[in-house]
Structure 1
């Protein structure tokens, strides 16, 4: 009978940090897709597009982190770190998005530091690169929240009108006109 000696993976800390990040990215991507669908339903075309694009960016992070985990000979834990929150008021949606981004930035700064201390330069750099993108997301959400605060319903009404205009053009192209 052959016995297999199980050795501890020297990248266990990095794998755990990356799996934690995967869980955050999955949950955040789902939250943003939830917001996207509500903005889309309300015909807030611009906000809908922003949330969709950022949700997809979060999915790319999942893939990058997962690839790194597999390279380090770990296994990927594809479970969200939190449940999607059912928020439908635009200001509250953007406030939560800002909180999620800030929390992620803080967490990834710590993960980057730890990866560096564990002499895993690639994981360290991955976290730094993702932090830069998360900061851009945070800035976008701050700007959109400020627009809502400054212009209120008019800001949303303009987006809704633009969404209605596009929908009516699409309807005309699909043969719905008589």
Structure 2
């Protein structure tokens, strides 16, 4: 059972993995927003920028929770992979969102096992956002010419 301000090393490690991922994709999506050109820029760049900002807000929220639980938030992102063209960018984004969905379901499970209702609730909300991002990227990918 989690006491106020305490969590297992396993849960704190998972939260740091989530932070590293959120920092990674916030930079990745912002650079994709900057680097898209032509009609694609008009159609996608605003959404990429919006999602990038949402991901940074997730990183902040997770970092605040980790700090409360006695952990130190990482400042090191997972590897950033912008992509050389739109298809490569969006394919990578789909993979990154799938990884996030898997990780966040695991965090919810561990938090529930430890009786940490607040962390579980935070990640349920973030998971919903990640599923929406995944839906956006898969929809874009389906519409791209081969």
TM-score normalized with structure 2 length: 0.87
- How far did residue 57 of structure 1 move? 0.5
Does 2:27 align with 1:30? Answer: yes
Aligned to 2:49: 52
Unaligned ranges ≥5, structure 2: none
Q: How many residue pairs align between the two structures?
A: 140
Does 2:104 align with 1:121? Answer: no
Q: Secondary structure at the match of 2:144?
A: helix
Aligned to 1:139: 135
Higher CA-based Rg: 1
- How far did residue 73 of structure 1 move? 2.6
Range that drifts further, 133-142 or 9-18: 9-18
**Cα distance in 2 for residues equivalent to 1:42 and 1:25:** 28
Unaligned ranges ≥5, structure 1: 1-8, 153-178
Higher relative CO (CA 8 A, sep ≥ 6), structure 1 or 2? 2
Aligned to 2:77: 80
C-alpha RMSD of matched pairs (Å): 1.7
Aligned to 1:100: 96
Does 2:60 align with 1:63? Answer: yes
- How far did residue 88 of structure 1 move? 2.5
- How far did residue 86 of structure 1 move? 4.3
- How far did residue 108 of structure 1 move? 0.8
Give structure 1 regions of 4+ aligned residues with deviation exceeding 6 angstroms.
none
